[in-house]
Structure 1
């Protein structure tokens, strides 16, 4: 391996860029300064390998999303910090990708630890195996395996991390994570994805951190539905338990919309995804709306972010988040509001304004999530808002940070 000063400078510059925005634990920073991402991306210019962006390594001919990709380095670092690997840990990674993350994990667990990485795609698993061999991590175990099944023959694991998007926590994973062990996964509910850090306490997984992220979905979970409206120009992405009926919404955009505004404002670089996250802790009408350029040209009100904004859907009506820049406040020049369509547009828009207002009073508040196996009786669940899925029961509760 020819680790030239130029390549080392590129790697250090990338890490410097990451830690300027989010300080990292020293072991993770050192691992990222050590492991060569360019050797896990052969054929790519090193200057491109050390930019803070995702790189597709295998296209998906059956859909718009890649089958596998190298994650954004800052997201890799964030999830490693959530996982908090320790020397001697026994780690299972679901989603081998390029093998880069497994190499970082191997650095972090040291010679007394073990890393097993699995991938359902034989080509991706082979890519990871060859890259790990090429970079000196032959001891990392690579398996061609359905990630939903895990790798029980090498369990229990003290840490598990998924680098593919999950809609539900598979029952098999419960059996492979040691009590007191830590699980980090990109979990999707109500149309949004968060990297959730959980610790197992008996029959419960308890969260202590959630971060916005986006990942290629794992093969084999189909709990999210897409409902197309306006001849496919508008799409609602929702969970299977949410009663979104295309027939009821067929004419929803045929009438004038209702527009309401909150007192909440945001700055140019300020995220408002917390509105969405917070709303899921109490409201089962929350989902994601995707409005295409064609729909905007046809007169549909522009959502705050056309491709991914929170929406509330009930019966034949919907409301979604909108934003408008008016420069009345130079520090926070954009105000937030709700656009509603359908016969019950105004009540739904008011509900969304209430969510915006609640978020505006405490923007740092993050719901606590507790995940239990499917079948856990209500009497054993903590107080909070329950979301049921085939393999799990999630409970979301919110404590104000300003209290």
Structure 2
């Protein structure tokens, strides 16, 4: 194949879609057809066609004064994943928060001429760009509104599907009030620092998860914006990220890394390419002092050796902490724990216990995530980790061991 041929947008679009189908990200004929139909490069004029059709790359469309991306065309793999989660049918009414244009065009293909698509964004530059590109590519029937997505769609009644294409910390009332009963909301929801694209079905005044996938998105702007808080340790080399909650005495951690390191290994190993999203969610829901550690790559002295230097699972308890570490045993990585501080031994043991509990009881399980109105009494919530936000109470509920094993057996029999 020549360079001219590979640069042809139609060839690139076919190759991108073929790859997403081959890898299983696209598994329905209707999502595949939409990806083959919509010219992604036309919605990403900032990029070369090769970059526009990279299945795993975003196209940044706007940055703030600090150079941080605040608007982008999401990676095709993420968009395909979320559209498969949404299960959009012909004739449906679909609302979208975040108006890149390309995703709305894909949805327009899915709903067909008898359906409707309304997209809303808080940024006039984003909505103006989306309107221009949708008109230029023949998707003029997609409605574009300039408004804060926190408040839903202006005067458009209920929708069958909501798709949110910005990272959300909470779920405002409008997203459920404007959703038909039995309708579906797909949203990248941040819980205790972990973001999952969750497909929720409406069940009366609550939402119940049907699937959850790892993802990353630029955060919501406007009233729904909620930023993590960062506690810097050892100058700016190491940071602890808190999504909700904050240490009662952050100064208690001064000098924590000057203490001797406690090192423990769990016997918990994983296959080289085995996903561990369930483990991360289990620890986030099981540990009261859960937070994430990050290490500045430019200031990294090698003092700490976390499993993931960008967002590593950490347990904080007053003046001591423990974080997830990893080493190789043969061809399999083994999880361990490094602890620091006066109570390093106890904190490390607590993290080890929960890692081993996940391995023993929940390795093949996924939680059900429920969303209730913020005023729901504790007694009316299912068992699980309760995260109270401004609008909602979110419950991460794990099956009992017998239920998890039963589900695993059923999945193996399919």
Q: TM-score, normalised by structure 1?
A: 0.93
Q: Which residue of 2 aligns with 1:317?
A: 320
Displacement of 1:5: 10
Q: In the alignment, is residue 302 of structure 1 matched against residue 309 of structure 2?
A: no
Counterpart secondary structure, 1:281: helix
Q: CA deviation at 1:121?
A: 0.9
- In 2: Cα distance, 1:71 partner to 1:356 partner: 33
How far apart in 2 are the matches of 1:85 and 1:74? 17
Query: What residue is the counterpart of 1:202 in the other structure?
Result: 204
Q: CA deviation at 1:76?
A: 0.5
Matched, 1:147 2:134: no
Asked if the contact 1:318–1:348 (Cα under 8 Å) also holds between the matched residues in 2, the reply is yes
Instruction: Give 1:392 deviation, angstroms.
Output: 0.5
| Distance apart, 1:7 and its partner CA | 2.0
Q: 1:11 to 1:244 in 2, by over 3 A?
A: farther
Aligned-residue offset at 1:379:
2.6
Matches within 5 A, 1:274-313: 274-293=278-297, 296-297=300-301, 299-313=302-316
Could you report, residue by residue, the CA deviation over 1:26-45 in whole angstroms, capped at 9, with x for unpaired residues?
Answer: 11111111111000011422
What is the DSSP-based 3-state SS (H/G/I as helix, E as strand, rest coil) of the residue aligned with 2:286?
coil
Contact 1:275 1:355 in 2 (8 A): no
Cross-structure match for 2:373: 373
Give the stretch that moved more between structures: 24-33 or 221-230: 221-230
SS of 2:117 mapped into structure 1: strand
3-state SS in 1 of match to 2:69: coil
How does the TM-score come out when normalised to structure 2?
A: 0.90
Deviations 1:159-187 (A, max 9, x none): 10110000111123222122211001001
Per the alignment, residue 385 of structure 2 pairs with: 385
Hey, what does 2:129 align to over in structure 1? 127
The alignment yields a C-alpha RMSD, in angstroms, of 1.9
**For each residue in 1:311-364, what CA deviation from the matched residue of structure 2 results, as whole angstroms up to 9, or x when unmatched?**
1112111111111124x2x3x2x1111111112222221222222223334433
Query: Runs of 4 or more off by more than 6 Å in structure 1?
Result: none
- Quote the residue 2:3 is aligned against: none
- Match of residue 109, structure 1, among 111, 128, 140: 111
Q: Which runs of 5+ in 2 are unaligned?
A: 1-5, 407-414
- Aligned residues between the structures: 394
- Secondary structure, in 3 states, of the residue corresponding to 1:267? coil
Distance change in 2, residues 1:9/1:245 (3 Å): farther
What residue in structure 2 maps to residue 345 of structure 1? 344
Residues 56 and 277 (structure 1), Cα distance of their counterparts in 2 relative to 1, 3 Å cut: same
> Aligned residue for 1:255?
259
State the alpha-carbon separation in 1 of the partners of residues 369 and 46 from structure 2: 42
For the 8 Å contact 1:149–1:172, the answer to whether it is kept is yes
SS in 2 for 1:198: strand
Once residues 183 and 346 of structure 1 are traced to their aligned partners in structure 2, the CA distance between those partners, rounded to angstroms, is: 43
* Deviation sequence 1:223-267 (CA, Å, 0-9, x none): 632222111211111133343642121221111211111111123
